[in-house]
Amino acid sequence: MSILAVAIEEPGRVALVQRPRKELWPGSVRVRVQACGICTLEKRIYSGALNLGYPIVAGHEVGGVIEEVGPQVLGDFRPGQRVALDLLTRCGQCHWCRRGHTNRCENRFMGRNGMLGGLSQEAVVPAREVFVLPETVAPTVATLAEPLADCLHCLARAGLNHQDPVAVVGLGVMGQLHAALLAHLGHATLGVDPLAAKRQLALDLGARAAVVPAEAPQAMQELSRGYGASSVIVTAPQAEALDLGLSLLGKGGTLVTYSSYGAEERLSLDLNRLHYQEITLTGTEGRTELDFERAVGLLAAGSLDISRLVSRTYPASQAAQAFQAAQDPELYRVVVTF
């Protein structure tokens, strides 16, 4: 028996293909995929900026329904349950896994599909990667559990202080998720982006203020009573955004770089400011199982409405159009449905 999948056959070309149906193995669960988001990773594979070998069935932001539970599955999983998938291989044996930093697993990319394969009618995965959601969470919204988990991991590194304001530089889908989370946690948040529509959405999601980059330093001074941000999250992948983030940071503050950067990007830093003002610069990458569990919990509780971050949906038969639409910087998440 075969199943339908969306394959990136070469840069700029997507096609529907038939793939053999995978067998269940002990400890695995078969999930019928209902929706899969097109993330930056998929866009990089599609553009050719990231070559993992072609053709490849990508996709790692998945919402679906359990079809079949394999032998030796110990959790309370049943056919028909709505789920989100944490498609990330974690070996559980390496130096980082044994210390609880499973996002840094040395073997997480075992095989080129170690964290991909979501753009398919079915996924057979270890039960530990399956997280149950209530029926109230739409499959398209379930695809946001993975990026939401990444943002929760980021915020855990941000040195948050509830009494001080936070800035989010860059209001794409990840910036908006950070803004929504920060508002949910009670933080006064300044969103920064050149596009008016993105600034307005950040306000709708709970940001205290949203401004263009040129206005950000003054806006942060007003929001912080002159003390600067205690934390800054930079989601825009340009060195200029990091420079701006640093200008917003107050004494003792923490700046987290969320995005990846081009090989030639460099940061100029006043080392005396780093020394005398006790600034912390850090990064964030991926998420742990606990981050994913917390993200699913937020979606299940219905306390965080991020459905507006799904900009468009396309059936799998229109996957080529979906990938083309995903290149539009004014859109948030584009989702392929099965």
> Each residue of 312-331: pLDDT tens digit?
999 999 999 999 999 999 99
Q: What is the enclosing helix (H) or strand (E) of 210? A: strand 209-211
Give dist(CA 266, CA 186) in Å, integer: 33
Q: Which residue has the higher pLDDT, 261 or 166?
A: 166
Give dist(CA 306, CA 139) in Å, integer: 13
When the pLDDT of each residue in the chain is averaged and rounded to a whole number, the result is 93
Average pLDDT, stretch 53-68? 95
Write down the pTM of the prediction: 0.93
Question: CA dihedral defined by 295, 40, 200, 233, rounded to 10 degrees?
Answer: 70
Give dist(CA 76, CA 210) in Å, integer: 44
Question: Which pLDDT band, with edges at 50, 70 and 90, does 38 fall under?
Answer: very high
- Cα 31 to Cα 59, 101, 134, 136, distances in angstroms: 14, 27, 15, 18
pLDDT at residue 113 in the model: 42
Question: Which pLDDT band, with edges at 50, 70 and 90, does 90 fall under?
Answer: confident
Average pLDDT, stretch 70-85? 96
pLDDT at residue 110 in the model: 67
Q: Return the minimum-mean-pLDDT range out of 103-112, 213-222, 238-247.
A: 103-112
pLDDT at residue 54 in the model: 93
Question: Which pLDDT band, with edges at 50, 70 and 90, does 114 fall under?
Answer: low
The string of DSSP letters for 45-109 reads HHHTSS-S-SSB----EEEEEEEEE-TT--S---TT-EEEEE-----S-STTGGGT-GGG-TTTT
Cα dihedral sign, 32-66-102-335:
positive
Tokens of 33: 């995929």
Rg of the chain over all Cα atoms, to the nearest angstrom = 20
Question: Which pLDDT band, with edges at 50, 70 and 90, does 163 fall under?
Answer: confident
- Residue pointed to by tokens 């080529």: 320
Task: Assess whether pLDDT exceeds 80 at residue 265.
Answer: no
Tokens of 187: 């933080």
Average pLDDT, stretch 50-73? 94
pLDDT at residue 303 in the model: 86
Average pLDDT, stretch 180-207? 96
- Give the Cβ contact number of residue 93 at 10 Å: 10
Task: Assess whether pLDDT exceeds 70 at residue 80.
Answer: yes
Task: Assess whether pLDDT exceeds 70 at residue 112.
Answer: no
Burial of 76 (0-12, 13-18, 19+ CB in 10 A): exposed
User: Domains in the chain, ordered, with CATH?
Assistant: 2-147+287-337 (3.90.180.10), 158-283 (3.40.50.720)
